Structure formats: structure tokens, C-alpha cells
Amino acid sequence: MNEEYKNYFDAWETKTGAFIEYRPEAIEKAHNGTTGLSGLPFAVKDNIAVKGFSISCGSKLLEGMQSPYTATAVRRLEEAGAIVIGKTNMDEFGMGSSTDFSALKQTNNPWNTERVAGGSSGGSAAAVAAGLVPFALGSDTGGSVRQPAAFCGVTGLKPTWGAVSRYGLVAYASSLETIGVLAGTVERCRMVFNVIKGSDPRDETSHDAEEKSGETTKIIGVLSPETISKTLSGSTGSAALSPAVQRCFDKAKETLSALGYTLVPVEFPALRFAVPAYYTIATAEASANLARFDGIRYGKRPDWAENPGDLIDKARAEGFGQEVKLRILLGTFVLRSGFQDKYYNRAQQIRGVIRQNFETQLAPGKCDAILMPVYPTTAFGRGGSGLSTFAQKAADIWTCCANLAGLPALSFPVSLEDGMPAGVQLLGKPFDEQSLFNIAAQFEQLCPFSHPEGWKDFWSV
């Protein structure tokens, strides 16, 4: 199998460019084990630490850096027998929705190489969709696991904030982000989550969830088309669902009804403020988190500088890409003294109301889960045929709300629309990932999803 897998790997990697670094000797060791995850190869987004592997975060500033230690989530998978084969491409520091903001290389969607794989965990999504690995780790700050999962036709989980240790994840916006899972099937996604979850003394915010009763109402909340347009008419920019995504959303509703779920209309009045609140909080946290990249402790040091201040200026000017600079500036702007009430504190208040909106609908006896679109479009093209960078941000409305509220959300493929995958997501109660897996697994059984042309199954049990 290994010779065949190695050739398959090389062929698809040339087409997709999913990896920043991979290890042929690890690929050689990979095999389809008989139990659990043993022997299975997996890929890790290049902002999650794996000892001895690259940790570039898709940035020139950290290009070539090797991690001296391993993230807890990765360590737990290795202890279960899985094998890291490489590090995947991403938007620089997780900032973006296409992976085109990687400063290091371009990643293509395995379904159509003219289209983006989504982002920021685009390399991980492409690697799974092409069948190069049965699963991969990504990170989700505002949708970065779920959106590329939808673009590439795979399953993507953003766990509850605190369910998975963030030790070893390079921070972008700490209060919003989690390590997440991309996998070829719902059950594989569940298997991986069950291994990586749980408290870790190295991340004080991680904890073990109390067991859920398992009792469900079989009620799923859905935004009606009217509520969607009402929400969007009050929001920033246009994030209206494309006809392709609308068809996919309708199919998902029909299938869930056929599976015996009762769909009830829900409303989240504060959702229209989600994107401005998200970008205020995310950039504020990013401006603090990225301050460590000074060319002294981390990052490429300029060849020559007048003095230490000049050295830091040069390291950042040369190392950070445009989008990262924009966001650091925006973050320092919203945090500057005297203006915190106007932006940052207000965004935190909106965040609180969004969380309450979801708590109301997910209260005991009400909905088990909420069905939402993932992104307004399927995978877009590059350059002029794509979405503007502003439109890409406005489009985060459907994903970033789960991060603002700290809730688990599972994105899974539903249909092929005009030849490209389209998916939906289910948001659930805190620490109730299992209910989301249960619903999505039933869905998957009834409507198994297809694969890109030339895909080969190396990893099914």
C-alpha cells in the first residue's frame, strides 16, 4: 500500500499545495490500523506546534522556524498511535478565509484547482478532501475550520471554547479560538475529538465537560428566509446566500425533517452585529498576541539595524503581510486610551447579547441544535472572480457567532452545487458536541457525500 500511497500523495500534493512541509519517512510509516487511530497519518495546521516540524503560521516572519515542543492535542493523538506527516498551509496567523493570505504558497481546492480551498485552515481541508489524510487539525477563531470544510466537502468541528487545550496553538484571538478537527467522515471527526478533548494542566481554560443526559428533544432551530434577510438587511456588507448555498440549505432542512427532526423557526436579533463585534474583539486580541513577534525572541532578524527599536520595526515591516498589518493597526485603534468604551467595550456587550440570544433558543426543553449556513457562497475563485476582502469579512456572519458565544459547531457537506461542495453547520449547547455528531452521522448515513475525481479511499475502516 505504501508505494501506492506515496505516489498518490505526490500527485495530489502537486495539484493542491496543501502542505507547507511533509515528511516522506512519516508517510512510509502510515498504515490503516485495525483499531481506533493507530497507524493513521494526519496533518496539522502550521500554527499548531509539533516538535521538530515547521511552525510558520503561513508567515514570512516565522518561515523556517521549528517548534521545540508539541501541542497537547497533537500529543494525545500521537499517544493514540496516529502519525503526524506534515504541516498544512494557512492564511497568515489565521487571518483570512481563502488561504490566499499565506505568505508562503498557494493552496488549491481539490474539486477545482482554480478555486480557493477556503481558510484559514485551507491546507488541512484540502489534504482531507483529497484523501491524503483521514483527518487533520485546524484552528477556528471565526470560522476557519468550518468554512474550508464546507468549501472542500469534508466534516469540520469547532469545539466548545475550553473543550480542547490550546497549549501549543499560536494565539490569534484567544477568547474566540479553539483547535478543531477536519475529517473525511462524521465518525472519524468524533473519534479524533474524543481523543483530543479534556482538561490539560498546561491550559488553565481547558476543562472536562460533565456528562450530558443524552436526552434530546429532536427539535432543531432554523432561521427562516425572512429572518435571514431581516438579519442581513441590518448587517455590514452583503452576506446574502447565493442560490447554490440556498439550495443546499433547503436540502439540509428536507433531509433533517425526513430523519424525524422537528424544525422550528428561531431568531437571533443581535446576529446582525456579529461581524463588527467579531472584528473588533479579534483584532484587539491579535494586536496584543502578535506583539511577541519582534525579530528578537521570535522571527527573522533583519541583517542590520541602527538600534533595538529599529530592529523590531524592520523585522515587522519585512515579516508581516498586508492583512496582518491591517489587523494589528485596527486592533491598536480600537484599544487606544479614551476610546475603549466606543469600540472594544461595546463589542463585548454585543457579544454578551449574542450569547444570550443563543442560550434562549438552546435552553432545556427547547432546541437541541441550531441549523445555520456556513458561508454565503461555495468556494470562490482567485483575483477578480473571487470575493473582495471586505465581502469575505462580511461573510463571516454565519460562523463567527459560534466563536463569540463559545458554542460548539459542526460543519458537514450536504450537496454538490454546480460541481462544488456545499455544506451547513449545526450549533449546539456548550459541551454537547456528541449531539451534533449524532445528528450529522444520521444525515451522512442517509446522504453520503461524494469525492473529487481521482480520489481513492486509503483510510476507511
Contact positions vs ligand GLN (CB under 6 A):
94-97, 120, 140-144, 172, 282, 396
CA dihedral 308, 312, 318, 323 (to 10 degrees): -170
Q: Residues with Cβ < 8 Å from 364, sequence gap 6 or more?
A: none
137 forms beta bridges with 44, 181
Nearer to ligand GLN, 143 or 373 (CB): 143
Nearer to ligand GLN, 18 or 176 (CB): 176
Instruction: Spell out the alpha helix ranges (H) of 341-385.
Output: 344-361
Residue nearest to ligand GLN (CB): 144
**Separation CA 392–CA 394 (nearest Å):** 6
Nearer to ligand GLN, 128 or 222 (CB): 128
CA angle 349, 353, 355 (to 5 degrees): 115
Contact (Cβ atoms closer than 8 angstroms) between residue 123 and residue 68? no
Nearer to ligand GLN, 143 or 168 (CB): 143
**Separation CA 379–CA 37 (nearest Å):** 30
Catalytic residue among 98, 120, 165, 287: 120
CB of 355 to ligand GLN, least distance (A): 18
3-state secondary structure of 32: coil
Question: Phi/psi zone of residue 261: left (φ > 0), alpha (ψ -120 to 50 degrees), beta?
Answer: beta
For 258, other C-beta atoms within 10 Å of its C-beta total: 11
Does 144 participate in catalysis according to the annotation? yes
Helix (H) or strand (E) holding 422: strand 420-428
CB of 281 to ligand GLN, least distance (A): 11
The set of cell numbers assigned to 328 is 494589528
Does 45 participate in catalysis according to the annotation? yes
Nearer to ligand GLN, 353 or 391 (CB): 391
Amino acid at 280: T
CB of 396 to ligand GLN, least distance (A): 5
CB of 431 to ligand GLN, least distance (A): 20
Nearer to ligand GLN, 95 or 379 (CB): 95
CB of 399 to ligand GLN, least distance (A): 7
Contact (Cβ atoms closer than 8 angstroms) between residue 199 and residue 425? no
CB of 13 to ligand GLN, least distance (A): 23
Exposure of 34 by Cβ count < 10 A (0-12 exposed, 13-18 middle, 19+ buried)? exposed
3-state secondary structure of 174: coil
CB of 116 to ligand GLN, least distance (A): 12
**Separation CA 281–CA 286 (nearest Å):** 8
| CA proximity to 435, closest of 264, 265, 217, 259 | 217
Nearer to ligand GLN, 294 or 396 (CB): 396
Catalytic residue among 67, 97, 144, 435: 144
The set of cell numbers assigned to 330 is 485596527
Catalytic residue among 45, 87, 158, 300: 45
Catalytic residues: 45, 120, 144
